[in-house]
Structures are given as structure tokens and as C-alpha cells.
Structure 1
Amino acid sequence: MTTIGMEWIDIELTARQLDIVKLVKAHAPITGDQIAEMLGLSRATIRSDLSLLVMLHMLSAKPKVGYFPGELHKAEASAPNWMSISVKQVQGMPVIVTGSLSVHEAVVTLFLENAETLTVIDDQKRFLGIVTAKDMLKLTLGNSQAGSMPVGMVMSRLPDMAAVGPEDLVETVVRIMLAHGLDGVPVLSPEREVVGWVGKTTILRRLLEAADEIHE
């Protein structure tokens, strides 16, 4: 995986989630209770794992029948795996502001651009962090002076490993988003200039496209 000069921590799906996928591939159709029994766990313990794997299309489920391999596994045999697509093929451009912009101006920008997140850069166009509508709402409630504060004071400074390069895979983006609880990640050049953004909407859209490719 490309790290664009940054320290990389390889974060995988949990071992339990991978074991669940293997069990389903080997024994489908299989119920959640049967999966839990094979793992020596309770059904409640693996409920969130099953929900996540279904959401990612790694598993599919039929009421009163059980779990089956999901659309992504079927796609491996009939269409290119969407996870193997490079970031530069799916990235969009973020709404970029400088850290000196006031919170009031940042709020206006969010509304005008119909965006949920602003990407903050310095005077050399290098990435500094992100700020969300929720961040600014928390700041401005009950604080009449908050509007004049620079947005750089309220932004979240993402760790280096929460960014990707254009040559990284979409799979890398998904792993980072899951690991850090993010709705999107910035795409940076080796000089840390912001060259794109990949959000959860992009990922979900690509999931649907992959599913459509299977049924064509």
C-alpha cells in the first residue's frame, strides 16, 4: 500500500469478522445462532459484526433462512473487485478553506456548498485538518463570540495515518474510515497538499455500482 511518506499502521477487519466470513462461505446458508455457536460466543456478541459485514456487502441475509456470501464475494468471479480500484479513480474535491477563516464564514460556506465537512489548509496549501458542521454547532451554542474565532482553532487535526494518496486502494480508505470512525478521508500529495477527498457517499455509490455489474 502507498503511504505517501507517512507512517502506516496496517489495520485489518477484526479476526472475528474474518472468521464469520469464512464460516458463512463454508456453511451457507447459516443462521446467526449457528455462527455464534461455532465461534463459542453469544448471538448478541456478534450482532454488530454481522450488521457491519452485511452493510459492506461481504455477507447477505435472508429472514428465517440465514446468511450467505455477499455481493462482493460474488463480484470476485464476475466483475472487478471495487476494493481494488485506486483512490484517484473515485476521489472528488473537498470544500477547502484556510485556517484563518472565521467560524461564521465557515458556517456560511458549509451551507452554500451543501457540504458536511470543510478541509482546512495552510498558506502553502498543505493539509491541516477538517471541521464539520457538528464541530461548529457545539462551539457556537451559548457562545456569542464564537463566530469571530478562526476555524483553525476548532478544526480536528487528523493523524497522518488517517489520510491516503491517489495511488492507494479504496480498500485502504474503508479500513481507515472504520478504524478512526470517519465519514471521509483527505487525499494528499507527497507534499501534503490536498488533491482530493473520498467520503462514505462515494464508497456507497461504488458499492451499488459493483452490485449492478454483478447483475448485468
Structure 2
Amino acid sequence: MSHIRKEGTIIQLSSRQLELIELVKKHSPVTGDQLAEYLGVSRPTLRSDLSLLVMLGMLDAKPKVGYFLGNTFRESHEPLQRFSRMKVKEVQGVPVNIPDTLSVHDAVITLFMENANTLIVVNEEKRFAGIITPKDLLKITLGNSGAATIPVSMVMTRYPNVVTLTPDESVMEAISKLSQHQVDCLPVIVPDEEPSRNPIISGWVSKSNIVSLMADIATA
């Protein structure tokens, strides 16, 4: 989130509100219906976000024309502009990797020991094979006494059925994917020149990465 000071009060902007600002910046003037279509949500879902941004002066609106950037953004919102230029490779973190032969039992231990919300699974070549989440582990272990010995390769979400990022994608695109797919983190991959080989895992971007980044920018 980003923090905006308004008449002595600090107001936090959500990732969706930041994304709305970027969409308006790119497409203005743009209607509320068009913004809803870009984000894949209904128009009523955005009503409160748009009202807040107009109230803050981040956006302006004209009837039958649409939304465009407001004076507050144009005059004094360099932190957001700087944020919008950032690439994934500048903010990605170090993922928690586990081999695809690891047992479900050991994966659960790793999850808690590393305080992670997702585990990245790699194959024998140390290349990206898939992901494991707490929900995946819960599904397989509930009511299944023999689940602990099952290898994670049997229960992981396999690549390419995983939403991913590449290092040169923008941070705003990362926010969009995190929001759209309702996930806690996204693996960052470097595709191999040989299509038959799995990609190299470069890092990951999590919601906590984004929140920390925005906090750093807002207080810089």
C-alpha cells in the first residue's frame, strides 16, 4: 500500500487503487465501465475506490467523458510515478525451494520453519517444476493417514499451470496478477531457450514484498 497525507490524516491506498491510477494514467480519459473491464471486475466493485481517489484529488472525473489524473497526482505524486517504473527484477525476493522428491511431511515442516505461504518445487535439474501452498498440503493430509510419505510432486500445482512473472515485467503487472488470481506470491522465471526444458527460477514476488516496497517509497 501507499500512504497519502490528506489534511493531517494518513490514508492508505490499496493495490487496486494504485492500479486504477496507472490505468487512468495510461488510457485517460477512460470510463468507469472500461476500468472495470480492464480489471475484470464489475463497475459497482470499483465505485468506492474511484470515489476515494477523486476525493483525494488523485483522479478527476467529467460526466460523459471519464476519469483522468487529478491535480494531486500531477503535482506531487512522484513516489507513485517512481513505483510504476520499477521492474520485477528490482523487487523480487529469494524463494523457498524444495525438491520434487520431498515428502509432504517434510514440506509441512519446511513451510512452518521458513514462515512461508508458498513453496517453490524444483526438479533434479534445479529448474522450476511447480508450487505447493498450505491449502494443497491441507487437502492431501486431511483424513489420509498415509499422506505424509507422498512426494510433493504428486500434489503440487505443476508448471505451466502456475501464474508466473518474468524479471522484466513491471511491478504494476505483478500487482495486477496477484490481485486478479487471488494468490499470495508469484514465481519469477527465466524461460529456457529450449522449450522442452523447464524454466530457471529467478525469485518470487509476494504481497509482503509489495507492501514493504510501498512503505519504503512512501517514507523516502
Aligned to 2:78: 78
State the Cα distance separating 1:205 from its structure 2 match. 1.8
Task: Provide, for residues 65-115 of structure 1, a one-character-per-residue CA deviation record: whole Å limited to 9, x for no partner.
Answer: 956427994687533431221111111111001111000000011111111
Aligned to 1:133: 134
Q: Distance in 1 between matches of 2:102 and 2:75?
A: 45
Task: Provide, for residues 15-41 of structure 1, a one-character-per-residue CA deviation record: whole Å limited to 9, x for no partner.
Answer: xx68x958xx99xxxxxxxx89xx9xx
SS at match of 2:93: coil
Q: Distance in 1 between matches of 2:77 and 2:55?
A: 22
User: Does 2:181 match 1:210?
Assistant: no
Q: Distance in 2 between matches of 1:137 and 1:91?
A: 27
**Contact 2:130/2:162 (8 A) holds in 1:** no
Identity score, percent: 37
**Contact 2:117/2:184 (8 A) holds in 1:** no
Q: Distance in 2 between matches of 1:179 and 1:211?
A: 24
State the Cα distance separating 1:176 from its structure 2 match. 2.1
Task: Provide, for residues 141-192 of structure 1, a one-character-per-residue CA deviation record: whole Å limited to 9, x for no partner.
Answer: 1111111101111111254782222222112212222332222111112331
**Contact 1:116/1:132 (8 A) holds in 2:** yes
**Contact 1:186/1:196 (8 A) holds in 2:** yes
State the Cα distance separating 1:60 from its structure 2 match. 7.3
Cα RMSD of the aligned pairs, angstroms, is: 3.5
State the Cα distance separating 1:137 from its structure 2 match. 1.1
Alignment of 1:159-170 (within 5 A): 159=160, 162-170=163-171
Unmatched runs of 5 consecutive residues or more in structure 1 = 1-12, 27-34, 40-44
CA spacing shift, 1:207–1:197, aligned 2, 3 Å: same
Unmatched runs of 5 consecutive residues or more in structure 2 = 1-15, 37-41, 60-69, 193-198
Normalising to structure 2: TM-score of the pair?
A: 0.65
CA spacing shift, 1:60–1:111, aligned 2, 3 Å: farther
SS at match of 1:81: helix
Give the partner amino acid of 1:127: F
CA spacing shift, 1:83–1:66, aligned 2, 3 Å: closer
Normalising to structure 1: TM-score of the pair?
A: 0.66
User: Does 2:109 match 1:112?
Assistant: no
Q: Distance in 2 between matches of 1:75 and 1:152?
A: 52
- Per chain length, whose mean CA-contact separation is higher, i.e. which structure has more relative contact order (CA < 8 Å, sep 6+)? 1
